[in-house]
Amino acid sequence: MADPQVPAGTPDEVRERVLHGPERVPVTDPTLGIPVTVTEEGEPLHRLVVLGDSLAHGFQSGSVFHTDLSFPAIIAYELGCLDRYRYPRYAGFGGLPLNLELLVRRLEASYGADMDPWEEALALFSVRSFMDRVEDYWERGPGTAVPALTGYLHDLAVYGWDLRDVLDRTARTCRDDIGRPHDDLVKQVVENNGDRAALRVYPSSAEDADLTLLDAARALGEEGADRTGSGIETLVVLLGANNVLPCVTRLAVRWSGADFRDLKRKSAYTVWTPQHFEAELAELVTAVGRVGARHVIWGTVPHVTIAPIARGVGRKMAPGSRYFPYYTRPWVDDAAFDAAQDPHLTGDEARAVDAAVDCYNDAIEAAVHRARSGDAGPPRDWRLLDLAGLLDRLAARRYIDDPQARPGWWTPYPLPPALAALRPVPDSRFLTGDGAGGRATGGLFSLDGVHPTTVAYGVLAQEVVTVMSDAGVVFRHADGRERQRPVAVDFNRLLRRDTLVERPPQNITAGLRLLGWADETVDWVRRALDFH
């Protein structure tokens, strides 16, 4: 009989981690205590290049749209080189695939903060009409025209992509997957939206059709390398979240199988086994090692079970536990939750998923350790940014509200003064309005319950800026003057652009009835967040 703390089918290495540990302690020293001397001089041609997924792409509230507010673009602004930083753009109908904020605000404008039951039929017509226009724009209208890129982008990120996608996908494979779209009156979702988004990241020339994003990064690393040693000053690698995120967007745990490397078949899986993750990570580490970058920052994988798209039901499983007995959608009320009817993860499944993520992060940390130690050649200035620890320190229901559940290493994350001064202080709960024009809860996660708000992207940018500054990277004002250290992200600028934190929709009430209704009627979670 399987141990009751470990669900049946859990991989052996995860089972061992759950039952016997060790507990992973977040890394606070990006250098891992291993000194590396950088001998290169001068300023490389490309100051910042990022290999990533939705976080680096700038995804928010179900779409990629404001890419000028992605965390890499925020860093480029602070470096003083945003005018030279190349990133993709997605104008038109709120971006790809479905801009929930735009949709919710349209409903608010038509039906007010409280939609009456008799208005739901009209609202459903409005929602479907909007989604149909979005679909037409990107599948048959102006959105089908991919702009010609004159050079490789610095933001080499595509939402929904996991390690294998970055290793293997090319512009050619994306075009082949798109094929001919269908105008579906029921499904109403932009077909192959991730491939369409990716084509705006790749160069459009025929000679570049078979390049991967890693090939593009390598090409950037070669530009100007004869003058400064590396073509890229700082390369940020933030990948791996999509090897586990589907378990909370689908509320199902399906461990990867032997065909995990197959671009088509891997979509059936929601969590990679540590063995499979480490096999792909080894390929990625080898490929990144070929990129000419002076500094490389590797991010760990966050514990996705903290994201409010999967809300813990009721009380914790036991006093001092980190886990709730069930995790379901945030609009499903505790009293109404029915494990026989409502989609959910169990607390034991959430624990196993977190244990798998800890294994992933051990492997990422080990890769950085090997590079800094010079185990496979000259020591390299690779550094670790522990995003898992960052999110854990911001986890409201897991740790902040439950002191008994806090591990010995845990301390609250000190938000920047501009955010700490807000009332209420932004937290990791699902965003809701207070009925008077402000927020009742949340502020760190956007309306999709997975991706950050603009100011939360700023928090991530600040963490990367700090690591870069400690590595010796020089930040400048727009006029070229060197900035004093420590370098602080301009959160007042980001607050002015953050419409969710400053002016949240008031029809997102404490009961989240609108989003629950929208998910029941148009299945927006699967359509906007299930990228596979």
Quote the CA–CA distance of 135 and 141 in Å, as a whole number. Answer: 9
Confirm whether 373 is domain-assigned. yes
Q: Is 384 helix (H, G, I), strand (E, B) or coil?
A: strand
Rounded to two decimals, the pTM is 0.96
Q: In the block, which residue shows the tokens 């008799």?
A: 118
Confirm whether 55 is domain-assigned. yes
Nearest to 365 by CA among 298, 412, 431, 307: 298
Nearest to 95 by CA among 532, 528, 531, 530: 528
Instruction: Enumerate the β-bridge partners of residue 384.
Output: 298
Nearest to 326 by CA among 271, 248, 266, 419: 248
CB 281 within 8 A of CB 168: no
CB 246 within 8 A of CB 526: no
Q: Is 23 helix (H, G, I), strand (E, B) or coil?
A: coil
CB 417 within 8 A of CB 507: no
Confirm whether 493 is domain-assigned. no
Confirm whether 498 is domain-assigned. no
273 CB-side CA count, 13 A: 17
Number of structural domains in the chain: 1
Confirm whether 438 is domain-assigned. no
Q: Give the CA angle between residues 414, 415, 418 to the nearest 5°.
A: 140
Confirm whether 178 is domain-assigned. yes
Quote the CA–CA distance of 346 and 123 in Å, as a whole number. Answer: 34
411 CB-side CA count, 13 A: 6
Sheet holding 311-312, edge to edge: 311-312, 326-328, 345-346
Sequential pLDDT tens for the chain (532 residues): 345 589 999 999 999 999 999 999 999 999 999 999 999 999 999 999 999 999 999 999 999 999 999 999 999 999 999 999 999 999 888 999 999 999 889 888 888 877 777 887 888 888 889 999 999 999 999 999 998 887 899 999 999 999 999 999 999 999 999 976 655 555 567 999 999 999 999 887 878 899 999 999 999 999 999 999 999 999 999 999 999 999 999 999 999 999 999 999 999 999 999 999 999 999 999 999 999 999 999 999 999 999 999 999 999 999 999 999 999 999 898 999 999 999 999 999 999 999 999 999 999 999 999 999 999 889 999 999 999 999 999 999 999 999 999 999 999 999 999 999 999 999 999 998 888 889 999 999 999 999 999 999 999 999 999 999 999 999 999 888 999 999 999 999 999 999 999 999 886 664 466 777 778 777 778 777 776 5
Q: Take residue 467 and report the two structure tokens written for it.
A: 């690591």
Classify residue 144 by its DSSP letter: G
Confirm whether 428 is domain-assigned. no
Confirm whether 477 is domain-assigned. yes
Domain range for 20 is 12-410+447-454+471-482+508-529
